[in-house]
Each structure stands twice: as C-alpha cells, then as structure tokens.
A and B are shown apart, each in its own frame.
Chain A
C-alpha cells in the first residue's frame, strides 16, 4: 500500500530564502506523485505532478520537485520565497489501479509554510 510522509508540519522561511518541503513516499509500484497547495478556507490547487519521464518537474508559481527513486523522495523547492507562498502544502501519491480505472490520492499530513518579511 502507498503512503506519504511529510517531514515537518510547519516550516518557516524568510522572504527571498529557499523553500524546501520534504516528502517521502512508499509505494510497491511506480508512483504518480503530486504536490498540492491549499490557502486558508480554499480548495486544493495542483502545483505539479510526476508521472513518467523527466524526474525534475516544474510547476506553477516557481515551484519544482525532483523525483528520486533511490531515496523514495519528491521534495518541493522554490529558490526564493514570496509572502504569497504562505499556505499549506500537501504531497500525495496516487494509488494506481492497473485494472483500468484510476486510483485515488493518498495525502501526507501537510506542511504549513510561513514566510517572514
């Protein structure tokens, strides 16, 4: 069964500093991996996803993530934090069903990012 572990429930960075949000996954099959962002009282917005191909994935708002199979990791980074990046970030793995339909998403516990001026 798939699972996701996000290290650090709360990360605080200064504006302009590097953002690094950690995600490790467990999966018995090649995973589909996702990062979602959730602003207060809002829905989940897809930042980026890895399915196949290039292991460095670029997403919206300047975020990117690298799939490292050997480390079972999919850490999210952004070179320079902006105040508007303050939100909660969820890493997710897809519980793919090879039988024809599609799997559901299994989420990590989330990491709340604070950005200090």
Chain B
C-alpha cells in the first residue's frame, strides 16, 4: 500500500540558508500534518492543512511557512536556518480525522551546520 512519502530523506544546510521539505500524502487523504522532533525529544506539532487550507498551527516559527497544493502534496519552507532547527521533520496524513489513523512518513533529517 502507498505510504506517506517525504523528500529528501536527509538534508544538510548552513546557518541562514533556506530549506524546502516535501510531503506526498497517501492518496485520498485530505489532511497533512507537520511535526518537528529534536534530538531525544517528542514530536512537536508545527502546522496542518485540511483540503488545502491551513487548519491548525502549533509551535511553528515565523521563519517557517508551509502550504498544501492542489494535488494535496505539502511543502515546508524554512528560512534563515539556525543550528536549533536541526531535527527530524515528519509529515503525516489522514482521511476524515484521527479515527482513521494518522500515517507518518519516514521523515526528513535536517542538519544545520
């Protein structure tokens, strides 16, 4: 079965650079979520989109932005990168709510040097 696809798997950037992370949800899933997991930390919710509209916002820095496109894929744009942005970024998708279960992608590991 198709899963949530994230790209790239690994990304190394320098401070103050920008990064774009992509997420391709499971076909027919209508909601995409982004989470950030720092080293040894629990995943923290960043932002979500439902039917291409932002539906909820968590602890996402102002330097970050995200959108969901007409084909339902989503991109997380990160600017002015800081060392503290180094983390594993997960995307998850769901259909009509958590009752049907979230499915997580394998994540993008961002390292800022």
Contacts and interface: CB of A to CB of B under 8 A. Distances in A.
A53 B11 CA distance: 43
Interface in B88-113: 90, 92, 94, 96-99, 101-107, 109
Contacts of B50: 100-102
B42 A102 contact: no
Given A43-B105, A51-B99, A101 B43 contact: no
Interface residues of B, number: 28
A105 B56 contact: no
Given A43-B107, A44-B90, A107 B43 contact: yes
Interface residues of A, number: 28
Contacts of B109: 41
A94 B58 CA distance: 13
B56 A44 contact: no
Interface in A39-65: 41-46, 49, 51-52
B32 to A, nearest CB: 11
B31 interface: yes
Given A104-B56, A105-B98, A105-B102, 6 more contacts: A34-B102, A36-B104, A49-B101, A51-B98, A90-B43, A101-B50
Interface of A: 32, 34, 36, 41-46, 49, 51-52, 90, 94-97, 100-110
